[in-house]
Chains A and B, each alone.
Chain A
Amino acid sequence: MKLFEYKNLMVQQKAPKRLVIFEYEDVNAKFIAEQYVNYVATYRKAIINYFDNIDDLINPVEDLFAVSTVDKNEYVKVLFIDKLEYQYEELLNMDNLFIITKKVESVDFYENYIIKVKKVLEWQIKDYIYSTGLGADTRALDWLLAVCKNDMYKVHTELQKIYIFKQKDRHELMKQFIEDGIFTDLSNYTIFNFILAIITKDTESIAKIYMDIDKLGLSVPGFITLVYQNLRNLILVKYNLSSSTQSLGLSDKQIYAINKTPLAFNLEQIQKAFQFVCDLDERFKSGQIDKDIVVDYTIVKIMSI
């Protein structure tokens, strides 16, 4: 199936429930694929479950240790995988499953399920941004695109800042935000944004946040704890089987904010970053790392994962 055919069905809320494999060409194309999934999940009123491992998908496990969260919600499963190498019969029979991958090896086997998402051209990115109904003027959006170097993930993250306002106010607010430097000055960013900047390897944002960390007045253990908690929340929400606030111990708002964050690091990388931060606490408290280098070390180490 072609992407536009799927889009037509999707708009009519008639997208087939069977397996869909989005094979993307670049990071922006991956973003588009994710948006399709979000759209489908929204009109089906389904919760999205993310996976990064085929085994987890084929041999699903219940919520093994926590409170059971059996509910009536419909689920859409999304598997992120760099390469779909082998022929899995089980996948073909799964409904409500999206695979977002860079490469499909067994093309013949999966032929009927693949939808190629081609490289997104600049005008298409603009088209997408203009059509998001922000109400902001196109010149401001063009400027934002340039600041974000046409990276749709970054643009999306930045636009979240004005999504929360009413549509009629957005045009004026966008202007004000640009004047105030909200999109470039990250002094109001929390550590959560800091983590996002690190795991998306957004060096410009990191450089700016780095300058502001001193102003936050955090102690080193406080900094480590915040980084740890944010990474932990990210893992809990992004990779949970059923987003229950009760079982995760997070608020609805936290879950919403994390779910809205596009994935840029894969699970293995986030996991390594998480292990590193847990280790950092012990290393700092045992005197193996000087307090003056903890922040620098954290940034460099996580970015190099």
Chain B
Amino acid sequence: MIIGQDKILNRIDSLTYKQFPKTLMLVGLKGSGRHSICYYISERLNLEVVDISDNLTLETISNITFEVVPKIYIIDTKDITVREQNVILKFLEEPLANSFIIVLAENKSLLLPTVLNRCAVWELNSYTKEQLQQFLMVQDNQNVLEVAKTPGQILEYQNHPISEMMALSNLILERIGGANISNALTLTNRLAFKEEKDKYDARIFFDVLLYIINKKYIDTRDYKLYKIYEATNEMIQAVDYFNTDKKMQFDKYLVSIRQIMREENS
């Protein structure tokens, strides 16, 4: 059952096979239910779903043109490169008869305008806390509910020490201005950028950190925190995009927020 996306589901229900957009882009955060909606569409149109995200080559596209049976092709743009975006341009422009393409995106601004122009863009609704609460296994896990923005995040975050991450985020904001540079950089060793034991998952930690900064900024309206919020957003974008070295990006971020704190203090 898909919760909280009635508007999109109603739209899907109201369209006939012929009216349905050939190339559709579903925009929503990780865990917001984009894949579930794809499967909802597949049931509605009675077509098989094929995910080609991991194989975006000219050869793949060329092979698809020989497909006889109509299908729904999913392209998740999470780690897509500029080159791969250019590869799919023609495919998006001239989709096969009776087949459909659904592009999944978290952030439109990270895609080429030429890709965007070729798609009908549907944005998923944000979830309310009440809707998200339904996904909580332990109902009093309020910290998870505070940070997570999507059902997928709620399910994932419950297995991570969100309270500890919050405490560390607060510690960073309180102390990084006074920390020695070497000491500040040791923070990177606390995060797991790949699968590492006894460390905090880096991507989840970034979400927690962003939440804490935002919360503190709302409470204090401190301009330093606004600048740090911007720097955090930039760091997260850089980490998510172009397959950059995540440790490098976090190190760069630590150096820059330490500077922000020190500049403003002096």
Contact = CB atoms under 8 A, between A and B. Distances in A.
Interface string A237-266: 111110000011100000000000000000
A250 to B, nearest CB: 11
Contacts of A249: 189
Report the contact-size class of chain B (Cβ under 8 Å from the partner).
Answer: 20 to 34
B243 A267 contact: no
Contacts of B190: 65-66
Chain A contact patch, size range:
20 to 34
16 contacts: A61-B175, A61-B179, A63-B183, A63-B186, A64-B176, A64-B184, A65-B179, A66-B189, A228-B251, A236-B182, A236-B186, A241-B180, A249-B189, A275-B255, A277-B248, A278-B248
Given A249-B189, A282-B242, A64 B255 contact: no
Interface of A: 56, 59, 61, 63-66, 221, 224-225, 228, 232, 235-241, 247-249, 267, 271, 274-275, 277-279, 281-282, 285-287
A240 B183 CA distance: 6
B252 interface: yes
B82 interface: yes
Contacts of B238: 282
B186 to A, nearest CB: 4
Nearest to A239: B182
A8 B183 CA distance: 37
A228 B256 CA distance: 16
B251 A241 contact: no
Contacts of B183: 61, 63-66, 240-241
Contacts of B185: 232, 235-236
A66 B249 CA distance: 19
Contacts of A66: 183, 186-187, 189-190
A241 B181 contact: no
A274 B249 CA distance: 11
B161 interface: no
A191 B28 CA distance: 43
Contact of A275 (B168, B186, B252): B252
Contacts of B179: 61, 64-65
Contacts of B251: 228, 232, 274, 278
A236 B187 CA distance: 11
B244 interface: yes
B182 A281 contact: no
A240 B180 contact: yes
B241 interface: yes
Nearest to B266: A55
Among B82, B182, B183, B241, residue most surrounded by chain A Cβ atoms (within 10 Å): B182
B221 to A, nearest CB: 26
A65 B167 CA distance: 11
B242 A285 contact: yes
A279 B182 contact: no
Interface string B244-266: 11001101100110000000000
B184 A65 contact: yes
A218 B184 CA distance: 30
